[in-house]
Amino acid sequence: MTPDTTKNSPLFKPTLILHGGAGNLHKSTLPPPLYKAYEASLLAYLRETHSLLQSGSTALDAATHAVTLMEDDPLFNCARGSVFTSAGTIEMEASVMVSSLLPPSSSCSSQEPIKRGAGVMGLTNIRHPILAAKESLLRTGDGNDGGSMHSQLVGSFVESKAQEWGLEVMPDEWFWTRRRWEEHRRGLEGKVEPVSFSQGTVGCVCLDKWGGIAVATSTGGMTNKWPGRIGDTPTLG
């Protein structure tokens, strides 16, 4: 069914789910000030993203926007707040998946062929890895629908493509945070921190008023992971 966008009332109620880190993020596992900081950030990002959906944003645009907010917040293990590898470097990953790439006003009777997801990995200087995943979904492959030839991209090539696509690049020091560096150093000394170890991989799920669903997720991976490790965040399937 093709949505009739001329109607005032939406076919679906815009809805979203936002999470600020897969793991044991709870009042009992975090110092009170840190827990309050997480809560305040997430509530602000939730309100902003919900406003986008209410104003007519697609699920893909809203979900990726929510993740960019967390990628800029050093509280979260993604982009600017990413953890370090065992070599003291940062390698970021992200992916998106959608129920449809067809615009709400499309008159196409079939949604195929269509690429439903895209992942990027091994990024070092792209400010928003989630936008690299989004652009990969929309731009690579044959045809205007996004195609299905490049569902996963890695390393320096995708970094250069992201710059061609107009995505912002930041210097190494922009991603450096004392909190993550100290976690890295303690980890190398053999001091295991189960609370910090389990906190990462942010994400957002959105349903827009046309019934489109999108999922966006981004991570810096595990503290002191081997360089070159690819986790489940950018892996489709």
pLDDT tens, residue by residue, 18-75: 998 766 667 877 889 988 999 999 999 999 999 999 999 999 999 999 999 999 999 9
Residues 97-126: tens digit of each pLDDT: 998 765 555 544 444 445 689 999 999 999
Question: For position 142, what pLDDT does the model report?
Answer: 55
Residues 6+ apart with CB under 8 A from 77: 21, 83, 180, 199, 200, 201, 202, 219, 220, 221
Confidence of residue 150 (pLDDT cuts 50, 70, 90): confident
Indicate the average pLDDT of the chain: 85
Q: What is the DSSP letter of 44?
A: H
Distance CA 119, CA 137 (A): 8
Give phi and psi for 218, each to the nearest 5: -145, 145
Question: For position 112, what pLDDT does the model report?
Answer: 45
Question: For position 108, what pLDDT does the model report?
Answer: 46
Domain boundaries, the chain: 15-100+113-219
Question: For position 62, what pLDDT does the model report?
Answer: 98
What value, to the nearest 5°, has the Cα angle with vertex 97 and ends 93 and 101?
A: 130
Average pLDDT, integer, range 147-154: 76
Q: For 56-112, give the DSSP string.
A: T--HHHHHHHHHHHHHT-TTSSSGGGPPP-TTS---EEEEEEES--S-TT---S---
Collapsing DSSP to helix, strand or coil, 205 comes out as strand
Active-site residue flag, 201: yes
Q: Where are the alpha helices (DSSP H) in the chain?
A: 32-54, 59-71, 129-139, 155-164, 172-175, 178-188, 194-197
Residues 176-235: tens digit of each pLDDT: 999 999 999 999 998 766 555 545 689 999 999 999 999 999 999 999 999 999 999 999
Helix (H) / strand (E) element for 204: namely strand 202-207
**Segment of 9-23, 136-150, 169-183 carrying the highest mean pLDDT:** 169-183
Choice among 201, 217, 223, 233 that is catalytic: 201
Q: How many residues does the chain have?
A: 237
What value, to the nearest 5°, has the Cα angle with vertex 16 and ends 76 and 179?
A: 5
User: Does 8 have pLDDT greater than 80?
Assistant: no
Cβ atoms of 181 and 172 within 8 Å: the answer is no
Cβ atoms of 202 and 76 within 8 Å: the answer is yes
User: Does 87 have pLDDT greater than 50?
Assistant: yes
- Joined tokens for residue 202: 């942010």
